[in-house]
Each structure stands twice: as structure tokens, then as C-alpha cells.
């Protein structure tokens, strides 16, 4: 394997923070961020939010002037019942870039993954079932990313309103996690 073929894998974790917001491209004042390490548990964060809306977790920093994504992207998303029994019929995870002029470019996507899962809600204990979906995205045609673009992960779920996407700021249980192979 030549030096040009070596990849650096970076793990990103999705969190929702109230402590700061980021505006970039079409997104203004977003709270859903990708971090390379979990932040202090003293920061004000949300553990979950309704899964039926599109979630876009943005890495708010540049990585390098020019770099490439090539290989297998993998990760997890976690869904849970909240308030009533939940149903999940399909989901899609897409890794994208966006420049500040709002041009969105897809790096790769799982496509729609069909599932048929029911997550029970226990009203007596006020707790619901959780399910973790592991995904992978094959990117064999290298994608060039420049210093004018930032990476984000878009999560879409078809479900009822009792389904929540978990994005807790807790390193012991990785709710939204993605590992991306970079060639620098």
C-alpha cells in the first residue's frame, strides 16, 4: 500500500447543544453539531428530539485546505419511543458537504433502508424501547473537499411522532456516530 492509499479515520459524534449555535450555508442558528470528542457534561445539551424531521449534524470547522473522502463510512443512529409506542418504517443517512453559498454536495448515502420496527412505551415507568441501526456507505470514487466546504451528516427517518432520535452528550453510549475515511 502506497502512502497515497493510506487513510485517516476520524470518528464524529452528533450532539445537540444549547450553549452555542452555528450558521453555515442554508443552515442558520443550528444546534446539531458533529464533534470529535464529547464536550463537558456541564454544557447545556438535549438528549433527543423528534425523529420525523430532517436532522443535519454539521462539523463546524474546516479539516484541511484540500482533502478526499474514499473508502467505507460507517456509524450508528439510535431511535427510541417517547410518550407512546413508536413505529419506524425506514431511514436514510447521507454524508454531505456544503459551501457558504448553500451548494450541497453528496459524498455518499445509505439510500432508504426499509425496516419494520415497533418500539414499546411503558407509561408506568415513563421509558421506551431503543433501537440502534448500524449503517455503512461505500465511497469508492474519491470525493474532493476544499476549504470552502464543511461536512455534515443528514439523518432522515420515516416514523410516527413518538419516535425520537437520540443524540445525548454521553461518551458511554454513542447515539449518533460516524467514522469517515479521509485521505489528506
Distance (Å, whole) CA 127 – CA 160: 17
Could you tell me which of 74, 68, 64 has the C-alpha nearest to residue 12?
74
The per-residue pLDDT for 4 is 60
pLDDT in tens, 37-77: 999 988 999 999 999 999 999 999 888 899 999 999 999 99
Quick one: 47 exposed, middle or buried, by C-beta within 10 A (0-12, 13-18, 19+)? Answer: middle
Give the integer Cα–Cα distance in Å for 33 and 176: 10
Least Cα distance to 46 among 19, 70, 10, 83 occurs for: 19
d(CA 181, CA 164): 28
pTM of this structure: 0.93
Residue 121, Cβ density class (10 Å: 0-12 exposed, 13-18 middle, ≥19 buried): middle
Name the pLDDT band for 27 (thresholds 50, 70, 90).
confident
Annotated domain spans of the chain: 12-183
Kindly tell me if the per-residue pLDDT of 87 is higher than 60: yes
| Region of poorest pLDDT, from 16-20, 22-26, 162-166 | 22-26
Mean pLDDT of 21-47: 88
What's the average model confidence in pLDDT over 14-39?
87
CATH code for the domain defined by 12-183: 2.60.120.260
Q: What angle do CA 168, 30, 146 make, to 5 degrees?
A: 105
Backbone angles phi, psi at 5, to 5 degrees: -90, -10
Amino acid at each position: 500500500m502506497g502512502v497515497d492509499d493510506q487513510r485517516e479515520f476520524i470518528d464524529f459524534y452528533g450532539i445537540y447543544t444549547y450553549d452555542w449555535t452555528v450558521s453555515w450555508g442554508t443552515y442558520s442558528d443550528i444546534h446539531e453539531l458533529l464533534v470529535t470528542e464529547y464536550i463537558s457534561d456541564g454544557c447545556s445539551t438535549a438528549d433527543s428530539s423528534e425523529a420525523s424531521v430532517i436532522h443535519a449534524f454539521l462539523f463546524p470547522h474546516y479539516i484541511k485546505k484540500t482533502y478526499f473522502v474514499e473508502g467505507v463510512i460507517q456509524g450508528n443512529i439510535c431511535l427510541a419511543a417517547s410518550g407512546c409506542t413508536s413505529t419506524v418504517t425506514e431511514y436514510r443517512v447521507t454524508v454531505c458537504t456544503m459551501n457558504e453559498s448553500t451548494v450541497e454536495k453528496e459524498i455518499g448515502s445509505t439510500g432508504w433502508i426499509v425496516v419494520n420496527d415497533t418500539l414499546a412505551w411503558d407509561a408506568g415507568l415513563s421509558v421506551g424501547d431503543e433501537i440502534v441501526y448500524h449503517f455503512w456507505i461505500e465511497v469508492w470514487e474519491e470525493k474532493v473537499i476544499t476549504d470552502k466546504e464543511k461536512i455534515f451528516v443528514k439523518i432522515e427517518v420515516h416514523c410516527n411522532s413518538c419516535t425520537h432520535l437520540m443524540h445525548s452528550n454521553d461518551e458511554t453510549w454513542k447515539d449518533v456516530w460516524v467514522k469517515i475515511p479521509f485521505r489528506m
